[in-house]
Chains A and B, each alone.
Chain A
């Protein structure tokens, strides 16, 4: 057989094409993640303010001051608690929905489209929608409960005409967690759907032939096989939520009292609104070691699961 000689074509070079494909991602990471991160470390070890950006080195002074601040410790604890509770619900809902959306049923594409909207909608717009839904006085949810006789004088839930979703400490925390779960579940679901779709059909066929029913196939075959992908979905979701301030900034501003104040919001309030840029940076950096440890642990877990 005669082979056609194509000559040297630069894009046949695997090293070159690899570098070209990686460049946009690398630029993105260096410019939009790496540079701000290095800058915030520099700020955290300096005496910088919003008016004076001279980076005079002050050692660990800001970090020590932040650690001694009672409000910070409460904010840190709240951030961890909100993140962990949300992840439990996200994981449960994402698994259920991913299984549903990988089945065949009428209107599947429309249901998928509607379901992805919380993730696709700009977060600030979505939060304004929730702000109206959970309004302390004019909440449509309260109106509905009032019409059902669950609120108002003699009501089952409260004698008040309102539940004060964003004003009562317990309800405000539940509201914030609920909205975070609502917002983050679609992403985790899509990732898990990709995982479920990638399971070789011969494995599932073999299971069926062997008499495995739905739940057994799900729990003993599908979930173990998508465990590495599940860990990645969880990692994405946790990191996004840990650093998020938009939800509480729009909904509660951290209130009532400090019940919903999270790290990102407190860092913004101290660093930008309060002008103490150095301490604002130090507050945000406290999350880094924790997230790094979490990421390493989860990626190793995913890697081990993959090897098995």
Chain B
């Protein structure tokens, strides 16, 4: 009976959407990033045009640099006019009041394709307001990339498995060859995620499951001390000026022994020098005293601003669901960059990880990613990614805290306490707006 009701619910949503978009003059527009893989954009633009023709909807797609997505979304919500669908790469929880609740399509997709990866749900759903403010269709794993020859020589032919391995092996390689480990500690995206991965794996976190700030803990302090030691003994000062391109540049130049990155650095190298690419191996999240966790690199998150209404809204929702239904193409044309939030949409994925359709050598280079949903988490882990977590991310509080200790300006206890205090302020502000749980609520 329950299944029947669910089926009717799904059918009724589809029915509403199909009827809703029957008008021929409906138009939708999408804003999304210029994908790291250019062939993906070529595929997507053609797909969107075909979808429009098939559904009698005019579709236009604008691509911008990913750094412009949030500012454009903010401007469009403020103006009450703009794109029908905006794809952002990090949780847009702070935009929640200006976005449509997408519970219907999130539930419909889950009904059709089964369980959603937890890293995706936490980037789209805010429990305190019980709102699905976004629809996360994909995410990007952030495994470790290591130089096989260097790590084999150091006694780790399969690369580092734990944070202890990273320190011991990374230090030995640095001392022997001058080639450092590359874990950023600067105010930029990769550093923010890499530093969080170590903190989680040591048992610390910014917040707990109930959205209470718990950064100032022995576990976080231990992680910060570890990262400072890693920087002092196995890295150079370049990590304090790390940029989003540093991983890629260093790996391609053969000047970093280990990085945390999406497959982008490797794919770039593959196109330039196949032999050098064959020398790159992947590791899952490194294990620390409390487990092995890594942040997803980015998320592909669709939102529909509240100014979108009527036929345009129905068409936008239909587009999102149909896009999910074609996720095998999404993953394939992104060269396995986009992973599906709903694994059921890409049944070929395990086969592709065993034999990379884009010509890796050996073909099973990405096989370690079969376990990705066991260790790939989101920015607010173990709670949800709420607006406060987004602001903490934007202010680069975590990498700055780590860098202060690595530079010897503060001891770990002092730096963590200072960061905790600022994060508490941010949480309290958003909690007062009713958008963060925990506290006295």
Q: Which residues of A contact B (CB under 8 A)?
A: 47, 49-53, 65, 68-71, 136-138, 160, 162, 164-169, 172, 252-258, 261, 269-270, 272-277, 279
Contacts and interface: CB of A to CB of B under 8 A. Distances in A.
B418 to A, nearest CB: 7
Contacts of A169: 240, 407
B108 interface: no
Majority-rule SS of B interface residues: helix
Interface stretch (B41-49, B89-97, B367-375): B89-97
Contacts of B396: 253-255, 269
State the 10 A-B residue pairs at the shortest beta-carbon distance, nearest first.
Answer: A275-B94, A167-B241, A274-B391, A52-B97, A273-B394, A274-B394, A256-B240, A51-B98, A51-B95, A51-B97
Contact of B255 (A51, A137, A256): A137
B386 to A, nearest CB: 10
B236 A162 contact: yes
A253 B243 CA distance: 9
B395 A162 contact: no
Given A137-B249, A253-B188, A274 B94 contact: yes
Nearest to A47: B433
Contacts of B94: 49-51, 274-276
28 contacts: A50-B70, A50-B74, A50-B77, A50-B98, A51-B77, A51-B96, A53-B77, A53-B98, A65-B429, A69-B422, A70-B421, A136-B246, A137-B253, A162-B236, A164-B236, A167-B186, A168-B240, A168-B241, A169-B407, A255-B396, A255-B403, A256-B185, A256-B407, A257-B400, A258-B400, A275-B93, A275-B94, A275-B391
A54 to B, nearest CB: 8
Given A49-B97, A137-B250, A255-B187, A162 B238 contact: yes
Interface of B: 70-71, 73-74, 77-78, 93-99, 185-188, 236-243, 246, 249-250, 253, 255, 387, 390-391, 393-396, 400, 403-404, 407, 409, 418, 421-422, 425-426, 429-430, 433
Q: By DSSP majority rule, is chain A's interface helix, strand, loop, or mixed? A: loop
Contacts of B430: 276
Contacts, number: 139
A70 B426 CA distance: 13
B403 A256 contact: yes
B399 to A, nearest CB: 8
Contacts of A256: 185-186, 240-241, 403, 407
Given A68-B425, A164-B240, A274-B393, 12 more contacts: A50-B94, A51-B94, A51-B97, A137-B250, A164-B237, A169-B407, A255-B186, A256-B186, A256-B241, A270-B391, A273-B71, A275-B95
A65 B391 CA distance: 15
Given A50-B77, A253-B187, A255-B186, A272 B241 contact: no
Contacts of B418: 70
B387 A275 contact: yes
B241 A252 contact: yes
Most chain A CB within a 10 A radius of its CB, from B241, B387, B403:
B241
Contacts of A50: 70, 73-74, 77-78, 94-95, 98
A148 B75 CA distance: 50
Contacts of B74: 50, 272, 275, 277
Contacts of A275: 74, 93-95, 387, 390-391, 394
A168 B396 CA distance: 18
